[in-house]
Amino acid sequence: MKQRRSVCGIAVQKGLFLVAQRNEGGSQGGKWEFPGGKLEEGETPQRALHREFLEELGVPVQVGKKLCETQFQNGPHTYLLEAWAVELAGQPSRLSEHQELRWLELPAVLELDLSMSDRNVAEFLKNGFKGPAVL
């Protein structure tokens, strides 16, 4: 079976990381994550991040470099999650897939009930990410 791909955007402002809590319901309901989503057929990671941030948060992003990747299982499917540095072009103006957004320091992010894949990304960030890497 083909591995599916998803992306998340790592937005940092003044040392704080943007995290979002998924709406209740579904396998990941109530879990915290870095915003993003699944790639559609033929879509690049950069295009997927643009689309996901506009659809879910109502804010355009500038996508920088890929920071890390991790594999995870969701039901019968195996996914590859790629984390990319993003810079928001404004503040989020809507929540369609999430019930709450927070800007937090990394130690506080690690205390949240993160999805396993996003916990792996947060651990990577703790072990060496130095801030915005957009350009």
What is the C-alpha to C-alpha distance for residues 105 and 94, in angstroms, rounded to an integer?
A: 22
- pLDDT computed for residue 130 by the predictor: 54
pLDDT, tens digit, for every residue of 90-121? Answer: 999 899 889 999 999 999 999 999 988 899 99
Q: What is the mean pLDDT of the chain?
A: 89
**Higher pLDDT, residue 32 or 129:** 32
Q: How many other C-beta atoms are found inside a 10 Å radius of the C-beta of residue 92?
A: 17
Domains of the chain with bracketed CATH: 4-126 (3.90.79.10)
- pLDDT computed for residue 55 by the predictor: 95
**Higher pLDDT, residue 50 or 133:** 50
pLDDT, tens digit, for every residue of 16-59? Answer: 999 999 998 876 788 999 999 999 999 999 999 999 999 999 99
* pTM to 2 decimal places: 0.88
pLDDT at 78 > cutoff 80: yes
What is the C-alpha to C-alpha distance for residues 116 and 85, in angstroms, rounded to an integer?
A: 19
